[in-house]
Structures are given as structure tokens and as C-alpha cells.
Structure 1
Amino acid sequence: MDWSPVLISMKTASLSIFITFFLGIFAAGVVIRLKNETSKIICDGILTLPLVLPPTVAGFFLLYLFGVKRPIGQFFIDFFGVKIAFSWGATVLAAVVMSFPLMYRSARGAFEQVDPDLTAAARTLGMSEWEIFWKVLFANATPGMLSGGVLAFARGLGEFGATSMIAGNIAGKTRTLPMAVYSEVAAGNMGAADRYVAVIVVIAFISILLMNLGALRAGGRKHGA
């Protein structure tokens, strides 16, 4: 069994959830602070769009933007000597884009469930908006955000459509676990496909257990306080 898809998937999912987690929290914090409802609806629609688009369509847009002959892709090549399309970085890019809406919506929902009286009390105590965000909103929304992290990690781990468009299926480089399953099935190697499926199920299940345990502990500390 070739273990490179496992290593590539774990590296991709780990880096993508690190990026997505903080990016989703930041985006949610910005959106909930918008005063204009029309602006809030438009921003929410744009940020959620990858969730409802077919993954191949999202991958098409990524390829359109980051392809070697496209403006952004050419910019990275000319100024940084980095080719994004059909590289390992492209697997991370695809995972971030496709998992971001789950993290964003989970974080926004968690923030909106925080009692407004807590933030009002914090303002009367003279706390800055930055302090209110981290010490009140973030602290009380942690369980919900961890749940969003579970979904985002699992989404990044299982990303296939956008990855196939922007990163391809290059053995030892961009072939993630879902791509490996597809390749083995297409080649008629069902035994190898079974093993890859088993690995991805175990990884996803363990990740959910660990992160749910963290959410339970966070909720316990919250109630204990």
C-alpha cells in the first residue's frame, strides 16, 4: 500500500484547518458587526457560495484565477517563482476554499448565540471591542467553533472535486486519499481502494472524537464558571 496519499491528505487537512479556523472566525466577526443588513446578506452570500457550488465549478474558478497563464497564477510565478496550480499548495487552496463556509457559518452561529447582555456589560466596564471579541464572544462561542472545526477538517480531508481541477492527480505530489480511492477504483484495484477508504474513515472518526471531546471540556468549563 502506498502511504503517500495518507501523508499528503493529513498535511493538506492540517494546514487547511489551521488557515480556515482563524479565517472563518475573522470573517464571522466582521460580518456580525456590519450594521447594514443588505451588506450583511451580500457578504454572507459570497462567503457561503462555495458551500452550494458544485466542487468542480469551484475548482474551475480556482483554476481560472491561479492557472499558470492567469493573472494571479502568473503573478506568483513572476514575483515568487511559485507555481500554484498542480502543486501541493493547490490541494491546500482547494481544501481551504471548500471548507471555509462550514467554519464561517459555524463561527457566526456560535457568536450570534452569545447573550448580548454579556457584550453590553463588557462595554460598560470599559473593555475595547477587541477585548470583547476575544474575552467574551470567542470564549463563550468556543464549543460551537470547535464543532465547525470538525466539519471543516472533515471537509478538507475529503475534498475531491475542486482538488482534481486545480491540483490534479499526481502520484506522490497531489494525490490525496479521495483521489487515491478514485484512481484505484478506476484501475479496478478494489482491494487497494478498500484500504484507502478504511484509512480515511478511521482518520475522520478519530478527529471527530478528539474535537468533540475538546468541545465537551470547553462546555464543562463554561458551565463550571
Structure 2
Amino acid sequence: MDAFSLSAEEWAAIRLSLQVSVVAMVASLPFGVLTAYVLARGRFWGKSLLNGLVHLPLILPPVVTGYILLILFGRRGPIGAFLADHFGIVLSFRWTGAALACAVMGFPLMVRSIRLSIEAVDGKLEEAAGTLGASPLFVFLTVTLPLMLPGVVAGMILAFAKAMGEFGATITFVSNIPGETQTLSAAIYTFTQVPGGDAGALRLTLVAIVLSMAALLASEALSRVIGKRIHAQ
């Protein structure tokens, strides 16, 4: 095989990483927006505790996060057993479990970015809309959401990029099964553990760099477009 030609297994790892990253990003977005809004606008007891829990995956070793997921969502875990018995949903050692692990690891970055964008919104604009008779939901959809969109986009890209590079939590929770749970990072790790695997590791490393740069450039472009539309209004 040519030094720069990707094998079928390498393509499978790339496709799986993209699939897992997109699913993790999209599935966590509604929860990220809600959590960020609660942290930015809420005034309640336990807010600091909630903020700490949200950001805990950034502090814990990824392997620890993956092990906690395995305990909770494994076939014998309380949540995993319930999902398997009642809905036939199995997450451990499946690509859906990889998406869950990536969503958990990227969630703090998404929430932080969205929260900062919400806090930057002038509260007087929301109050003015409220005094005109608009409901809280209508105020959020017509005033807050458009102004916080750049932060939402940035949070989505950060979560996607984090998911693309996630390794520790994923391999602990769903293992490293080629074609099923072997993501780009896991495939690179596998190549580094076998003799003569340097070429494969280098190929996938270059792919990871290209995908990460593409995500960052897309984030910048989208943020500029949204920013211009907001200022135009």
C-alpha cells in the first residue's frame, strides 16, 4: 500500500470519528444551551455545585470519566441495565457509547462558551421586550438566542473538536474495536503499538490535523457571518 493511501480500516476509523463527533455535538446541544442559560441567568441554591459538576470532566482524568460511565451505563450499571431491559439500548462497547463519552467530555467546553455569550447579552434588551408583553420564551427566541448565536456556534465547534480528539474516556467505556468503536485517536494509538505502524499513525495524524483546522476555520467563518448579521440588524 502506498505510504499516503488510507486502508479500509483507516477510512472506517475516520468515518466513525466524524459520526461520533457529530452525534455527540448535536445530542448535547439542547442540554448545553439549557444548562448555560440556567448558570448565566439563574439565581438558586446549589448553582456552584451544578457549575462544578458540569466542569468536572475537564478536571478528572479522562480514564476516570470513562470508568464512571462504564459503571453507570454498562450492561450491569443502574442506567445501562434499565436502558437495555426496557428499551433494548446498549451503550457500552458500541459506537453510541463512544458518542456518549465524547458528549460528556465536550459538554463543559460547550456550556462555557454558550454561557459567556449569554452573559454578554445586554439584560436591558430582554427587560424591554418583557415590558412590551413578550413571554420569557418569546424573549429568549427573538432577543437572547440571536445575540448568543456566535457563542453557540463556538461551543458546537469546540465540542466537535474535543470529540474528534477524545481517547481516554472512549477507550475505557467502549474499548477499541475496529469497525465498531475504534475512532481516529484509538486507531493512531493502535498503530503506535505495533511494529511498522509509524506510517499509518502518521497518515491518521495528518488527517486529524486537517479535520481540526477545518473545524476551527469553519467556526471563525460562521462567527463572522453571524456577527455581521447581528450588527446589521
Distance 1:203 1:47 in 2: 27
**Residue deviations 1:163-192 (CA, integer Å, cap 9, x gap):** 011110000000000000000001130000
Letter in 2 for 1:31: L
Letter in 1 for 2:13: P
**Residue deviations 1:105-156 (CA, integer Å, cap 9, x gap):** 1111110010111111111111111111121111101112211112111001
Letter in 1 for 2:209: V
Distance 1:16 1:64 in 2: 20
TM-score, structure 2 as length reference: 0.93
Distance 1:80 1:22 in 2: 22
**Residue deviations 1:77-107 (CA, integer Å, cap 9, x gap):** 2112232111111110101100011111111
- Note if contact 1:146-1:212 (Cα within 8 Å) is conserved in structure 2: no
Shift of residue 41, structure 1, vs aligned partner: 1.3
Runs of 4+ in 1 over 6 A off after TM superposition: none
The residue aligned with 1:171 is 178
Quick one: percent identity of the two aligned structures?
Answer: 37
Residue 102 (1) aligns with residue 119 (2): no
Aligned residues: 224
Q: Which moved more, 1:72-81 or 1:197-206?
A: 72-81
Give the unaligned 5+ runs of structure 2.
Answer: 1-6
Distance 1:123 1:183 in 2: 56
The residue aligned with 1:55 is 62
The residue aligned with 2:190 is 183
Shift of residue 32, structure 1, vs aligned partner: 2.6
Distance 2:42 2:158 in 1: 26
The residue aligned with 1:144 is 151
Q: Secondary structure at the match of 2:178?
A: coil
The residue aligned with 2:215 is 207
Q: Which moved more, 1:82-91 or 1:159-168?
A: 82-91
Shift of residue 65, structure 1, vs aligned partner: 0.3
TM-score, structure 1 as length reference: 0.96
The residue aligned with 1:24 is 32
The residue aligned with 2:3 is none
The residue aligned with 1:13 is 21
Shift of residue 30, structure 1, vs aligned partner: 2.3
Residue 123 (1) aligns with residue 130 (2): yes
**Aligned-residue RMSD, C-alpha:** 1.2
